[in-house]
Structure 1
Amino acid sequence: MKGRLLKKTPRVVVAMSGGVDSTVAAYLLKKEGFEVIGITLKVWSDSCMHRSAEKCCGPDAINDARNMAALIGIPHYVLDEADYFEKEVISYFINEYSLGRTPNPCVKCNEKVKFGRLWARVQSWDVDYISTGHYAVVENQDNNPRLKKAKDKTRDQSYFLFSLSPSQLSRMITPLGNLEKKEVRAIAKEAGLKVWNKEESREICFVPGKNYMEFIKEKTALVKRLSGPILNEEGMIIGKHQGIENYTVGQRKGLPGGQGQPLYVIDIDPQSKSIRAGGLKSLYKTHCFASQAHWIEKEIESPRQVTVKLRYNYPEVNAVLTLLEKDRFRLDFETPQPGISPGQAAVCYDGEIVLGGGWIERQGL
């Protein structure tokens, strides 16, 4: 009984992918005095593991995570979440393309898997926190969590975390938020962690060889994909496509030539299975709408000036945010923006602070 009254050392689970970032996160937390447990989520079925040997959570990555955990001096476990990942992330990814939208699986994975399912799996372990190698800052004062950009703006991943709930953020630790990538590699090298110079992958972790269309075709082999027309801006048929899942707004590849100018996908209509193609000027939009709004910061003023990212590798732009009914909002851009893709996340910022965001809607033509 006496032992139970002593202050418990905080216990944290670190999601280890086998890369330098999550390895250093685990190392730093161990140095700070946390009781650290390394976890690697296996998100591939056994039949697919051979194709993903070097990918996140493939066999090589699992071995790297296990070896780094041993060097750090922490226990390491592998949790099989292949079925759940297939249901919550891969199915979403394929379905979004079938609806003419461009998905963002990393946001869904963070919300549903890393900070959702993983927490549910480890609650019985008396765990206090979950940590990852994300470059972002989470502050938690008086049970009022705040998400902020990382110190290293070239690596900032706060965009991918906008949909996390207050309870998810409140149990999250991000040791790399105030470090630059070069500092992280230096820490790993000095500590003798052999992944210090491991090359990182910026592609979708579950798509072999960066070819997401081949991945979709394989996953939907039993589903009859419908062809449809490619239309110009006047609505005239100028070609034919073999499935709208092969296209995304802003794309040039796969469009017919001989139109007197380079063509870009400017709209995808999932109802008519048609692709609308037009010139570069038609890609630029003055505004967009987003739905399924999720606000981390409460009592958002409307309208208000914000900066917004319309996709991860997109620079922030100035906009006016106006809240609408039913968890929707409108963004009016200071200058017209190109290639706004339905299905991508629009994440709003006030300086360093992530206000929240939502999912870009199709406006049609």
Structure 2
Amino acid sequence: IAARLGLRVHDKPDSQEICFVPDHDYRRLLRERRPHALRPGELRHADGRVLGMHDGVAGFTIGQRRGLGLALGEPVYVTRLDVLNNTVTLGPRQDLLATGLIADDVNWLIDPPAGPVRGAAKIRHMHAPAAATLRPLGEGSFELHFDEPQFAVTPGQASVFYAGDVVLGGGWIRAAAHDKQRPQPASQVTSL
């Protein structure tokens, strides 16, 4: 769109950085401005073993594999961040495969659907839309069930729901579902 409109920034690469952190080191910013946010805690395996210590939960993201400071002989990923107990949980990739999610604070760009709707959902900026069934949960919430499990569905991220290339609405991910539930048969859902 920017190229078609003749904007000079049309070929500028997307930024994945925080605009107010000029050296791109957000951990340094936290150490300087919010030192209490970076307190040491345990790195735990999903099976309960303590694997080591970390310098602060704020230094990790769900799905992270690199920069963990551990060599375990097997790939492990950040599967859970427990801010209250200051614990980072690590586990195998399959622990991050979610069959669905619940989102809150929904902003509909259409009239809220009365029942299940088929479409596609994105769970972060660069995520490819994934086929899913959306089920409204009432005031300001919805549940998604993906046709195929999705990697690293992360609470606090946005989930946006589409019908083709039309945005129907979106909300903030409250929880990921890691169960074996499947979407309802297509005969029971609405397509927009």
Question: 1:290, 1:334 → 2: CA distance?
Answer: 17
| Structure index of larger Rg | 1
| 1:359 alignment counterpart | 172
Does the CA contact (< 8 Å) of 1:267 and 1:364 recur in 2? Answer: no
- Unaligned stretches of 5+ residues in structure 2: 179-192
Following superposition of structure 1 onto structure 2, how do residues 204-223 of structure 1 map, counting pairs within 5 Å?
Answer: 204-221=18-35, 223=36
| 1:263 alignment counterpart | 76
| 2:42 alignment counterpart | 229
Does the CA contact (< 8 Å) of 2:101 and 2:177 recur in 1? Answer: no
| 1:305 alignment counterpart | 118
| 1:242 alignment counterpart | 55
Q: Which has the higher helix share?
A: 1
| Aligned pair partner of 1:341 in 143, 154, 157 | 154
Q: Deviations over 1:274-333 (max 9, x none)?
A: 111011222211111111112121131321112111011111111111111442211110
Question: 1:266, 1:279 → 2: CA distance?
Answer: 8
Ranked by relative contact order (alpha carbons within 8 Å, sequence separation 6 or more), the top structure is: 2
| 1:183 alignment counterpart | 4
What is the aligned residue count? 177
Following superposition of structure 1 onto structure 2, how do residues 13-32 of structure 1 map, counting pairs within 5 Å?
Answer: none
Question: 1:275, 1:248 → 2: CA distance?
Answer: 9
Question: 2:33, 2:51 → 1: CA distance?
Answer: 29
In 2 relative to 1, CA 224–199 (structure 1 residues): closer, same or farther, beyond 3 Å? closer
Question: 2:135, 2:162 → 1: CA distance?
Answer: 14
Question: 1:285, 1:245 → 2: CA distance?
Answer: 23
What code does the residue aligned with 2:22 have? P
Cα RMSD (Å)? 2.4
Name the SS of the counterpart of 2:4 in structure 1: helix
Q: Which has the higher strand share?
A: 2
Question: 1:200, 1:335 → 2: CA distance?
Answer: 30
* Percentage identity across paired residues of the two chains: 31
| Aligned pair partner of 1:350 in 128, 138, 163 | 163
